[in-house]
Structure 1
Amino acid sequence: MKSSAHPRVIERGILTSAYKREIRRNALETRRESLSKIKRTFQNQHEKFQSKAAAVLQVAFFALAIVFFLL
């Protein structure tokens, strides 16, 4: 194993601090992308549900208007 000493940091093994920083940064970016993807999916499903509910209500009101008009 490679060992290097720095006044503030002692590193051991093959993973350098630059590599570790890159891995942490990639993990944070992936987490952010995942959260935004989940949020976008939730919003899309919510919008689809709202549009379906609106269509059902419009058809129901139209049917009621026809019934009242024919009576």
Structure 2
Amino acid sequence: MKSTITSTIERGILTSAYKREIRASIRDSKRESLSKFKDIIERHHARVQSQTCTILQVSLFAIALILVII
């Protein structure tokens, strides 16, 4: 027997409006998680690049110091 209730809230959770809402929610959460993942990668890359730059600067300073002493 078919239900005669027409309100989307009263028809239950499997309405097309509810499905659209769930799809939109999933889409938004995927965007957020992807952007968070991208931010984590970029921060890690910047940190590694900064450490590499510091190591190179110290190495060049040490080489220059050795050349001055010799």
Q: Which TM-score applies when normalising by structure 1?
A: 0.80
Whether 2:57 is the aligned partner of 1:23: answer: no
Give distance in 1, aligned partners of 2:38 and 2:20: 27
**Structure 2 unaligned regions, length at least 5:** 4-11
Give distance in 2, aligned partners of 1:64 and 1:54: 15
Q: Which TM-score applies when normalising by structure 2?
A: 0.81
RMSD across aligned C-alpha pairs, in angstroms? 2.0
Give distance in 2, aligned partners of 1:14 and 1:60: 65
Flag the structure with more relative contact order, 1 or 2, with Cα contacts below 8 A and sequence separation at least 6.
1
User: More strand per residue: 1 or 2?
Assistant: 1
Which stretches of structure 1, 4 residues or longer, exceed 4 Å deviation after superposition? Answer: none
SS at match of 2:14: coil
Alignment of 1:1-71 (within 5 A): 3=2, 14-71=13-70
Amino acid in the other structure paired with 1:29: D
Q: How many residues align?
A: 63
1:14 to partner: Cα distance: 4.1
Give distance in 1, aligned partners of 2:34 and 2:55: 32
Q: What is the percentage of aligned positions where both structures have the same residue?
A: 47
Cα deviation, 1:7-26, whole Å, max 9, x if unaligned, reads xxxxxx74111111000000
